[in-house]
Amino acid sequence: MMDTVLFTLGPFHVYAYGAMLSLGYGAAVMLALREARRRGWSTDLMLDYLICVFLAGLLMARVLFVLCELPYFIAFPEELLSINNGLSSLGALLGFGVVTAWILRETNWHYRHLADVLAAPLALATAIASVGTSRVGKVTALALAVVSDGQGFHPLGAYQAIGNYLTFVVVWSLRRRAMFPGQLALLTVFGLGLTQFIVGFFNDHTLILSGGQLLGLLAMALVIYVVRSTDITEGEDDEMEHYRALGPSKAPWYRRISWIWGLLLLLYVYYLRATYS
């Protein structure tokens, strides 16, 4: 199977998922700052917020994971400070929620506009992080398979990266044409949920639907419910017209499809890891 260690520096191991997660977060910060600047927001305040989100999410993710696995860490207390053995997604979400609630209270940012600013960066960050995963799926003879001990397996990380990256491309290209606040965020949640649901069919599990697929279905259902049951355009026409007035991209066609190179680079990194594992 794919090695979890990307490379070694003396006594230190650099893990693939941690490295890709850090790279993805860095790319997300750059995109979020660019979008905040386009909307006339303070980039200094946005950067402070993103740093606080990262630190709070990482801290809460580790604390909650340790609490859930407390008997293990009581037996091996030297593992407490090593994040390589686990983080809690729920803890990261809690950390994100606390910092976001604070920034919304202290500023005039509206939560739907903030969600739109973070939407495309989130999709790109998850696409890059997916390249660092070492999970593989069912046995397959496809040319895209990851080969281990002469046996081919579905490359779940590559599939996840493709779906999340395409979500990023769609959302990023629509940011100048959004019809209502929160549209980009809803599209991102739906795209990431759809990717999670589809990729789950290639995973090697015994249940009809895996936990990840159920989470993906829940995300898509939530988006559909919000769109159908909420008047999400009420009172927002003037402000959205302002954002649309910033204008569509004037880049030539060959620059508009330059995203393809990003996708190819992600797949190259993934299969390069698979080759040397």
Burial tier of 127 (Cβ tally within 10 Å: 0-12, 13-18, 19+): buried
CA distance 61 to 100: 16
> What pLDDT score does 144 carry?
85
Rg, the chain, Cα only:
20
Mean pLDDT (whole number) for 150-168: 92
> What are the extents of the domains in the chain?
118-275
What mean pLDDT is reported for the chain? 83
Q: Which two tokens stand for residue 104?
A: 């919304």
Residue 174's nearest CA partner among 244, 124, 232 is 244
Q: State whether the Cα torsion 124-130-131-132 is positive or negative.
A: positive
Residue 26 has pLDDT above 80, yes or no: yes
141 — pLDDT class (breaks 50, 70, 90): confident
Least-confidence region, from 14-18, 121-125, 229-233, 253-257: 253-257
> What pLDDT score does 143 carry?
85
245 — pLDDT class (breaks 50, 70, 90): very low
Burial tier of 173 (Cβ tally within 10 Å: 0-12, 13-18, 19+): middle
> What pLDDT score does 223 carry?
94
The answer to whether the beta carbons of residues 129 and 16 sit under 8 Å apart is no
Q: Which two tokens stand for residue 41?
A: 């927001």
